[in-house]
């Protein structure tokens, strides 16, 4: 089996799984308890938060654990939303857990504008400068595109915000960036930042939202007041501690980036005589590669590779049941190219042999499919 859909999810590492099992069995205590073993577990959660802040290169804020990045994105936007907000600005590249919030807010009567993209998948910075004004209260723009790997310049976005709407709140979905590229929240100047465990060899069922100091969030889940009265519900301690372990197990981000760039280069070099369009530029994250193949359906390629136990996707797992691709369309990619698009997403755990074998079989599969369609 060759797994190249790491942007969708990743397997838990052995270290993370061992820690998960430890806190699910021996250290099972409720962190809200007042006896010593429960207090110890609560302290472990606080240490996990410090580990995350260290990985985000910031000390100026809090970490709120949630059940998923989708929940964290909802908490970020609905938690700071006020009825008197005059303008909310999102990008057209956002994950459904942000984009569909924008649609919902429009249906509720809010003024929501979607900033267009450049052909390389990045946000159109000139358009953003035009859209932002003194009436803007909230901005939400992802760090790395889950469809193409396009990396948005958060520092540049923050500088535009400071010029046009310095009081606006800036939220960033950092799920595909965290531990893949260098993240420095103090340097970027963002207020809210979402991360997820299952994208980095941690468990499903846990994610986190960074909240900058002095930023007030209203809860969207009510109950016992856990997570600083912002996210009620007994903490998923095994998953939180496994999340911490997965972060600690990442290794050298720069070396991983260089290695995955090498894998991507090998993969593409083996496809050099195929008729395809590369939707992911050289400056994008090497972890995510979007390709459009001429004359075939991407979905058909995915299923034919599945027969060889090679797993890729047609795009975001959260959009897999919908036709088309909103993000690629926003990059002015033609509908025909969108039909033939697939997403390959690499991991530091993939091997050179896997990438060579996958590209070889993809090439053979494409030609076999073309022959059948003639």
Phi/psi of residue 243, nearest 5 degrees: -60, -50
The active-site residue out of 80, 115, 165, 318 is: 318
Question: In the structure encoding, which two tokens stand for residue 134, read together?
Answer: 């003194």
Cα first-last separation, the chain: 30
Contact 171, 43 (CB under 8 A): no
Question: Cβ(242)–Cβ(19) under 8 Å?
Answer: yes
User: Which residue's structure tokens are 């003024």?
Assistant: 111
Closest alpha carbon to 319 in 162, 146, 174, 172:
146
C-alpha span between 37 and 72 (Å, rounded) = 29
Nearest CA among 374, 77, 351, 68 for reference residue 233: 68
**3-state helix vs strand vs coil in the chain, percent to 5:** 40, 15, 40
* 318 a catalytic residue: yes
Whole-angstrom distance, CA of residue 108 vs CA of residue 134: 22
Q: How far apart are CA 277 and CA 298, in angstroms?
A: 12
Q: Which of 287, 196, 273 has the alpha carbon at shortest distance from 240?
A: 196
**What sign does the CA torsion over 266, 268, 272, 273 have?**
positive
Phi (first) and psi of residue 115, to 5 degrees? -75, 135
According to DSSP, the β-strands at 169-173 and 276-278 are unpaired
Nearest to 191 by CA among 168, 211, 165: 211
Question: Which are the catalytic amino acids?
Answer: 318
């Amino acid at each position: 089996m060759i797994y190249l859909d790491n942007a969708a999810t990743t397997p838990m590492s052995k270290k993370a799984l061992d820690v998960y099992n430890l806190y699910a069995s021996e250290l099972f205590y409720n962190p809200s308890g007042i006896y010593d073993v429960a207090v110890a577990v609560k302290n472990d959660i606080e240490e996990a938060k410090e580990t995350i802040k260290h990985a985000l290169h910031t000390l100026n804020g809090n970490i709120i654990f949630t059940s998923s990045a989708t929940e964290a994105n909802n908490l970020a936007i609905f938690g700071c939303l006020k009825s008197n907000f005059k303008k909310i600005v999102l990008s057209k590249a956002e994950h459904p857990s942000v984009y569909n919030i924008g649609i919902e807010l429009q249906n509720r009567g809010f003024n929501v504008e979607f900033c267009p993209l450049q052909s390389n998948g990045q946000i159109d910075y000139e358009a953003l400068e035009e859209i932002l004004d003194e009436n803007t209260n909230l901005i939400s723009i992802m760090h790395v595109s889950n469809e193409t790997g396009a990396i948005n310049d958060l520092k540049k976005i923050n500088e535009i915000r400071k010029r046009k709407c310095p009081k606006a709140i800036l939220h960033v979905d950092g799920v595909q960036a965290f531990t893949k590229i260098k993240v420095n929240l103090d340097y970027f100047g963002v207020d809210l930042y979402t991360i997820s465990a299952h994208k980095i060899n941690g468990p499903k069922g846990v994610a986190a939202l960074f909240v900058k100091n002095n930023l007030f969030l209203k809860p969207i889940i009510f109950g016992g007041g856990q997570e600083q009265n912002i996210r009620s519900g007994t903490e998923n301690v095994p998953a939180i501690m496994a999340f911490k372990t997965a972060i600690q197990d990442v290794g050298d981000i720069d070396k991983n980036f260089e290695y995955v760039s090498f894998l991507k280069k090998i993969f593409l070099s083996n496809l050099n005589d195929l008729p395809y369009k590369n939707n992911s530029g050289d400056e994008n994250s090497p972890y995510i590669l979007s390709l459009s193949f001429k004359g075939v359906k991407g979905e058909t390629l995915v299923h034919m590779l599945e027969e060889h136990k090679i797993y890729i996707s047609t795009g975001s797992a959260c959009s897999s049941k919908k036709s088309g691709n909103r993000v690629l369309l926003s990059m002015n990619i033609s509908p025909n190219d969108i039909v033939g698009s697939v997403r390959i997403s690499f991991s530091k755990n993939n091997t050179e042999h896997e990438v060579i074998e996958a590209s070889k079989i993809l090439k053979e599969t494409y030609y076999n499919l073309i022959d059948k369609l003639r």
